């Protein structure tokens, strides 16, 4: 798994969107263009202030 | 002394001026809270002093009178933060957004539902107008972005020029219009880790319009007649449903239900979906 793939997978896991295994499987199925687009969002989230994150996971409901 | 509550959610009614395909309620429901239900909610607020009172719909601003009625009747809200979830339809301009926010008896925080589904009905400028109105009034602002796939997160880039605020990422659940339209967050495979987890909402409480108080804020409370919602919080906490979901992991519930736990489909990776399967297809609440 490439570094960029690992960053995207970790980002998806941190948001509670997938388990590690699911995230690895999901990222493996993405095109290069899709990975590029997602890594931009992941990096932007990573540079946000730790105490005031840009993206926050919430429980699945409305 | 009753246990205090961190957050009490109130579903004030199901009427909405948008018709989003992924909505967790059915579009044909127009019900609002009855007088008896309002009294139950007011009495719960007085008794449990929730740290946060969250009003949701339907579209909450269409129930402004009901919300203000509850806020006016509650004895003491000084220790409670008032939060409202809205689709932002009123924020055509910053002044119109300010007017609406000021018309609530008390309001501390706004959660704007905005995603690819809401975008079909809400002009993007309303997001900025509402953000600026909240900033002007010193209210907290965040966006709830509900997705069916992580790739939809890419669309969040357009928020960046507006300002700095939180985006709460939510997965589309299979209930209401979403279930009718076959729209649901897609998992690539089943995550067995869900069996080691408990209901993520077990420490929350929601008053579900037409049903009652429940820890469940998903399909069991909204779409079934199973005894998962009750007339009072005390009654709910004594109920078999609450004892089961608060005391057991989903794996233990699965074993107790006698339902087969092998070959579960990917969508059961979501706690709510698996929980619904367990309670709808077993005699656990009989």
**Position A53 pLDDT exceeds 70:** no
Q: Give residue B126's region: left, alpha or beta (phi > 0; psi -120 to 50).
A: alpha
This prediction has a pTM of 0.93
CA atoms lying within 13 Å on the CB side of residue B44: 30
Q: Is A18 close to B272, i.e. CB distance below 8 A?
A: no
Enclosing H/E stretch for B157: none
Q: Report the pLDDT averaged over residues B119-127.
A: 97
Structure tokens at B229: 């919602």
- Partners of B193 on chain A (C-beta within 8 Å) are 19
Among B264, B58, B21, smallest CA distance to B148 is for B21
Cβ-based neighbour number of residue A29 at 10 Å: 8
- Classified as helix, coil or strand, B237 is helix
Q: Report the pLDDT averaged over residues B77-95.
A: 97
pLDDT class for A47, splitting at 50, 70, 90?
Answer: low
B159-217 pLDDT tens trace = 988 988 999 999 999 888 999 999 999 999 999 999 999 999 888 899 999 999 999 98
**Position A60 pLDDT exceeds 60:** no
- Classified as helix, coil or strand, A59 is coil
Q: What is the pLDDT of residue A61?
A: 37
Q: What is the pLDDT of residue A57?
A: 62
Q: What is the pLDDT of residue B236?
A: 96
CA atoms lying within 13 Å on the CB side of residue B178: 23
**What ipTM score was computed for the predicted complex, to two decimals?**
0.87
**Position B240 pLDDT exceeds 80:** yes
| Residue found by looking up tokens 């579903």 in the block | B11
Enclosing H/E stretch for B50: none
**Position A49 pLDDT exceeds 60:** no
With a pLDDT cut of 70, the percent of chain B lying above it is: 98
CA distance to partner chain A, nearest, from residue B259 (Å): 23
Within 8 A by CB and 6+ apart from B14, the residues are: B25, B26, B29, B30, B31, B32, B57, B58, B209
Q: What is the pLDDT of residue B149?
A: 96
Q: Report the pLDDT averaged over residues B119-135.
A: 97
Quote the mean pLDDT of chain B. 94
- Classified as helix, coil or strand, B218 is coil
pLDDT class for B142, splitting at 50, 70, 90?
Answer: very high
The strand pair at B205-208 and B7-11 is best described as parallel
**Position B277 pLDDT exceeds 90:** yes
Residues 13-42 of A with CB under 8 A from B: 15-19, 21-22, 25-26, 29-30, 34, 37-38, 40-41
Within 8 A by CB and 6+ apart from B30, the residues are: B13, B14, B15
With a pLDDT cut of 70, the percent of chain A lying above it is: 71
Q: What is the pLDDT of residue B157?
A: 87
Structure tokens at B29: 């429901």
In this complex, which of A21, A34, A52 lies closest to B151 when CB atoms are compared? A34
B11-46 pLDDT tens trace = 999 999 999 999 988 866 778 999 999 999 999 999
**Position A62 pLDDT exceeds 50:** no
- What are the residue ranges of helices labelled H in chain B? 35-48, 64-73, 94-102, 125-137, 176-180, 219-223, 233-238, 240-247, 250-257, 271-280
Q: What is the pLDDT of residue B286?
A: 81
What's the CA gap between A10 and A18, in Å, rounded?
Answer: 9
**Position B49 pLDDT exceeds 70:** yes
- Partners of A57 on chain B (C-beta within 8 Å) are 168-169
What's the CA gap between B182 and B179, in Å, rounded?
Answer: 5
């Amino acid at each position: 798994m490439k570094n960029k793939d690992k960053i995207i997978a970790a980002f998806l896991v941190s948001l509670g969107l997938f388990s590690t295994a699911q995230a690895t499987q999901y990222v493996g199925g993405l095109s290069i263009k899709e990975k590029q687009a997602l890594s931009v969002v992941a990096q932007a989230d990573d540079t946000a202030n730790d105490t005031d994150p840009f993206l926050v996971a919430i429980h699945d409901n409305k | 002394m009753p246990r205090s509550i961190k957050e009490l959610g109130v579903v004030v009614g199901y009427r909405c001026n948008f018709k989003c395909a992924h909505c967790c309620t059915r579009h044909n429901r127009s019900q609002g809270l009855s007088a008896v239900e309002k009294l139950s909610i007011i009495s719960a607020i007085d008794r449990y002093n929730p740290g946060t009172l969250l009003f949701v719909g339907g579209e909450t601003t269409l129930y402004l009178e009901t919300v203000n009625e509850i806020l006016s009747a509650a004895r003491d809200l000084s220790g409670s933060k008032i939060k409202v979830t809205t689709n932002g339809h009123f924020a055509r301009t910053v002044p119109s957004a300010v007017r609406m926010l000021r018309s609530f008896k008390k309001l501390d925080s706004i959660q704007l539902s905005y995603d690819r589904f809401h975008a079909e009905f809400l002009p993007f400028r309303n997001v900025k107008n509402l953000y600026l109105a909240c900033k002007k009034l010193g209210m907290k602002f965040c966006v709830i972005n509900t997705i069916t796939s992580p790739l939809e997160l890419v669309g969040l880039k357009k928020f960046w020029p507006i300002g700095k605020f939180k985006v709460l990422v939510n997965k589309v659940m299979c209930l209401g219009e979403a279930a009718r339209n076959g729209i649901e967050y897609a998992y690539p495979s089943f995550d067995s880790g869900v069996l080691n987890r408990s209901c993520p909402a077990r420490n929350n409480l929601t008053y579900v319009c037409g049903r009652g108080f429940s820890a469940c804020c998903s399909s069991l409370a909204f779409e079934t007649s199973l005894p998962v919602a009750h007339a009072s919080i005390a009654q709910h906490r004594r109920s078999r449903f609450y004892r089961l979901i608060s005391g057991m992991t989903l794996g233990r519930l699965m074993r107790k239900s006698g339902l087969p736990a092998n070959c579960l489909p990917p969508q059961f990776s979501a706690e709510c979906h698996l929980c619904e399967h367990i309670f709808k297809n077993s005699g656990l609440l009989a």
